[in-house]
Structures are given as C-alpha cells and as structure tokens.
Structure 1
Amino acid sequence: MHYIGVDSGGTKTTFTLFDDDLARVDTLRLGTTHFQQVGYDGMERLLAEGIDELVRRNDVGEFGVGFGIAGFGEEASVADRIRESVARVAGERPYTLMNDGEAALAASLALGDGIVLESGTGSIAFGICDGRVERCGGWGHQIGDEGSGWWIGKQLLAAFSRESDGRAPRGALHDVVMEGLGLAEEFDVIGYVRDDLADDRTKTAALSRLAARAAESGDPEAVAIFEAAAGELAELAVVLSRELFGRGEAGGLEGGAGEEPVAVTYAGGTYKVGELILGPLRAMLPAWCKLVDPAYDPDMGAVLLLRDRLG
C-alpha cells in the first residue's frame, strides 16, 4: 500500500508519495490550497489535481491519504466545509484530516511528546503530552501570526520607513528594500504596498527573504526583527510547556529542574534562514525546554498518524 501526504500551507501545497515502508517515492508542489486565498472550490480542485497527478505518473494502486490542511479546526463552519471537500477528494480511500500544524507536530516529533513551533506564511504552535493536544497562536494575520513570515515582512516595511526618515540609522536594510522592490524613490513603497501587496499574505511573507538578506549584511534593524520573531515564537512554547507539561508554574524550581526537558522543534519556511532565527530562539527558550531538529518533514505527519491508525 502507498500513502500520499498532503502539507497545505499559506504559500504552497506539497504532495508526497510514500511506499509501504514510508520511503519517499515522488513529490509534487502546487500553489496554496488555503480556503481564504483560493476558496473552497479552488482548494478541492487543487487537492484532487495534486493527488491525481502523483497517482498517474507513478501508476499507484491502493493508497491512503494524510491531509494536513491550513485553517482546519479553527472555526466550526470552516472545518465542516473542509471536511466535505476532503471527503470528496479521498473518495473510498482511507484518509485522515488534521490542521497542518498538527501534522507538523506528528512529523517533527515522530509521534512523540513535545511542542512544534510552526512559522511559514502564518504562525501557530501545537503541543502534545500523553495524547492530549493543545494549540497556541494561529489567530490569523488580521489579529496575530506573530513571528511568521507575514509578520517579518510587515516588520521589514516598518523598519524601512524608520531608516528612510532618520528614526533609525540607515543601513543595509534600506538599500536591500530599495533594490529588491525596484523603488525609484523611498515613498514609492506606499504605492507598492497598496497596489502590489494589496494585503496578500503570501506576497508579504515573501518579503522575509529581503529581511534575511539585510540581517546577513549586519543591519541592526533587520537582526532585531528576527530576534523579535524568535521571542514571539518562544512565548508560544512557554505557554504550552506550562499548560501541557506543568513547567514554569508558580512555585516550581525552574519549571521542573531535574526532569527531562520538553522537546521543542520547528517547522515552516521561516526557518530556512537558519541561525538568524534559530540562534535567538534557542537562547530565548526557558531552561526546561530544549530545541531539537525536526525528525521528519511536515508532509509525513498525517501519513504517520494514518498508518498508525491502520495498524
């Protein structure tokens, strides 16, 4: 039997075919299937297209599907619509459906206990302890999504404005933004935000690459953006380590000194910048948490749970 893992995020959707031993056979990437960006019909069409293409080009027989879908489980009406679409796409095949953050949790910790800090276009954290799952963050870009690629992009634009008018020393960030966005004048950024970004989460998140380039050049404002992002993500871990593992509660000695540290891992495109964000994140986590590398990529998470359910 084969398995198809679907990792649906705010920027792209990854479809991965695994064999019965969970070895990767083939991978396909399409655009986002987030319902807020492509609608429910667009989501269903793209999910079916990705699965059908993998099956066609690999001549797959019997298979199951693990769906990790961004936005699933946050609102009852949304969850119902996503369930209906996924059920039609899966048909008679075995499948499992969960939020993409839960899938990242299962994959990153190999079904073990701990916390995953997911940061891509948006941000959310999930934790699991003895089968109990809790989440923190994930309120969407209009309310939160602190520490996400979208958030970093917004901070970059704010820092550019400060460097442009002298509220902060002008550094590499100013030049990187001018060149990266093709601006002739500094105030052209206003039209760029209004007409090109147009509140598009994916395009705004893509600006995080410019922030990384400026930070790598040593711009203090850009470095501070990634340090602040790490702080926002570390706060999510602190909350979940308290709620799920009882660490850091009032009266506790360093939140449980002498006990095994809570495993904290990460998933999402924001972490492609490496130590720019992982370094400060490692430093900002409390003593009772330990940052560990993810065991598997997120596209395997829902498949691991489906395979476990099927025995």
Structure 2
Amino acid sequence: MFLGIDGGGTKTAFVLIDGSGRLLARHEATTSYYLEIGFDALRALLRDGVQAALSQAGLRAADLAHTFAGLPAHGEDSELLASFDTLLAGVVPRSTIGNDMVCSWAGSLAGADGISLVAGTGSIAYGEWQGRSARCGGWGEVFGDEGSAHWLAREVLALFSRMVDGRAEPGPLVDLVREHFDLKVDLDLCGEINGSAARSELAQLARLATAAANAGDAQARQLLVRAGDELALLAAGTARNLGLPAGTAVDVSYSGGVFASGELVLGPLQAALARRLPGAVLKRPRFGPEVGAALYAARLAGQPLSAEALGKLA
C-alpha cells in the first residue's frame, strides 16, 4: 500500500493505491503552502488527511509500505528542512517529504525520463534523465512563478488598471473584473486586493484571462500566450540543467490549473517549445500529480508499479 500526498497553493490531495494498481482512497483538503497557513496548521492538515485516507480504505498506518508528500516550497529555505522532514513523524511509519514538483513529474510521465511543467498557483519545472534530476523556476510570487495562476492573476489586474486608466484599449476584461468584484467604482479594486487577498484566492482570478480571451479580448489572449512562452522557458532551463544536448528528443508534460485554459495556453506552449527546446515532444499527462505522489511512494519503497498495474490504474 502506497500513500501519496500532493500539496499545492490551492489544495492538497491524498491518494492511496496498492501495488496492483487499485485506487483505494482519495481525499482532498485545503492549501498546504506553509507561508500562508504556518507549520502547525500544515502538520494538522497532513495528519487529518492521512487519517481520512486510511479510514476510507479501512487500513492502519502500519499497513503503508511508504508515504511520499510533495509540498510547495520544500527545499527553498535550508533552515526549514528539518521542520519539513518531521511533518509526518508519528503519523506514518515510513515517509519522505519532497517538493510538489516531483508529484507532477511522476504522474504526468508515469515516472519515465522527461520534463514536467507545473502551472498551478505557482510555477516550476522538474525533470529526470538517465539518473539525473533538475528543476527550474519555483522562485515564488514576489519575483518569480512566471506562467502560473498567481502570475496570470497579477497580469489580469494590471491589464484592467491600464484599460480603465486609458493606457490600453478597453476590452471584455473590464466588465468581467467589474462583475467579479461587484465594483461600483473601479478604484475600489484596491481595497479588494491590497493587503487582504490570500495568495491562493488571488490565483483564482487567472480564470478571468481565459474568460476574456474567449470573449474576444486580444490583450487578455496575449497574457496566455506569454504564459505559454514563460513555461517553455522553464522547460528549456530544466533541459539545460539536465545537461541534455541541443535537439535531444525529450518528452514534456504538464499539470496545474492554468492548463484548464486548454489550447489558449497549450497552443502557445507548443509553439514556444519549438523555438526554445527543439526536440521537445509535448504529451498529455498520463496521471494527475496526486496519483504521481503515490507512484513515487511506490518507487521509494523499491516497488515501482509494473506496466500492467499502471494500465489498471489508468
């Protein structure tokens, strides 16, 4: 039995599988971003989520061969590694804590060599190739996370401000933002956002870029084109960090809410990969990151799922 925990800026998913590819339990909780909720709340969230998954499956913690938790911001502050690594102490007998980028890679590529792009609340890329591993991005919302939902939300609000100021031609985005916040006065947006909007809540505004683009807003559509290009840069950086020779055929897959925009993001991403990482093959994800976390737990236990078991799980 293998338990995977896929953390994120918006939600945290718990998935329990066995070695034959049976899905035994699935549970979902809120954000596991420690900078937003703190370590005490994070520890309680993980404990409660593990117990919920075990209860669904009618199992005990002792039945688990291994648990892997991929959490946002893990590894990005050396002084906090010990705090992260003890989060599941006393909860499960055998566990490993890592960054949530691993969940996306293990799920989207089913543990095969290649590069995975994550564009959820934040953005990051991670890849493995012939025993080597590398990441790119994931610097946080203050000076990074390009192509992520939080980045898109910030760009949506900036574009709205330019449109209502007269610095940009108004488009459908204006009415969508006004309707979303029920604005009677445009400047009231400052009170809605400044100092009060949590990171995960602000990221939800990325959906307005998609809605506006579908309504014919060319400037909003361009934000999604830019997102695709930024994500292609992450893939290219990861390939460089992996030491891949130019032109190497490498599978690139993806996960995260930004990709719910479909071809509005995937089309520009495909085009940007052709420019920035020739040889890249964009592939639809085989599994989601929550299943990827469980698959990685099996790998850490020395019992990776067989091709037959992966087929059953699919």
- Residue among 258, 266, 270 paired with 1:278: 266
Is the aligned partner of 1:4 residue 2:3? yes
CA distance in 1, matches of 2:300, 2:53: 23
The Cα of 1:306 is off from its aligned counterpart by 2.5
CA distance in 2, matches of 1:5, 1:163: 44
- Residue among 226, 231, 250 paired with 2:224: 226
Is the aligned partner of 1:296 residue 2:287? yes
CA distance in 2, matches of 1:281, 1:152: 15
Is the aligned partner of 1:187 residue 2:178? no
Change (3 A) 1:88 1:74: farther
Is the aligned partner of 1:264 residue 2:252? yes
2:88 counterpart residue number: 86
Change (3 A) 1:183 1:196: farther
Is the aligned partner of 1:101 residue 2:89? no
Q: Greater shift after overlay, 17-26 or 273-282?
A: 17-26
Percent identity of equivalent pairs? 37
Within 5 Å, give how 1:27-42 maps onto structure 2: 27-42=26-41
TM-score by length of 2: 0.90
Return the letter of the residue paired with 1:76.
S
3-state SS of paired residue (2:87): helix
Q: Greater shift after overlay, 154-163 or 53-62?
A: 53-62
CA distance in 2, matches of 1:201, 1:195: 11
Return the letter of the residue paired with 1:33.
S
CA distance in 2, matches of 1:170, 1:160: 8
CA distance in 2, matches of 1:308, 1:85: 21
CA distance in 2, matches of 1:34, 1:191: 24
Deviating above 6 A after TM superposition, structure 1's stretches of 4 or more consecutive aligned residues are none
The Cα of 1:307 is off from its aligned counterpart by 1.5
2:76 counterpart residue number: 74
The one of the two structures with greater contact order (alpha-carbon pairs below 8 A, sep at least 6) is 2
Return the letter of the residue paired with 2:264.
L
The Cα of 1:245 is off from its aligned counterpart by 4.4
CA contact (8 A) 2:4 2:296 kept: no
Q: Greater shift after overlay, 94-103 or 273-282?
A: 94-103
The number of residue pairs the alignment matches comes to: 296
Supply the RMSD in Å over aligned alpha carbons. Answer: 1.5
Return the letter of the residue paired with 1:103.
C
CA contact (8 A) 1:14 1:29 kept: yes
3-state SS of paired residue (1:294): coil
Residues 34-61 of structure 1, C-alpha deviations (whole Å, 9 max, x = no match): 2111111111100000111121233114
CA distance in 2, matches of 1:289, 1:107: 18
CA contact (8 A) 2:4 2:68 kept: yes
The Cα of 1:88 is off from its aligned counterpart by 3.4
CA distance in 2, matches of 1:196, 1:171: 27
2:170 counterpart residue number: 170
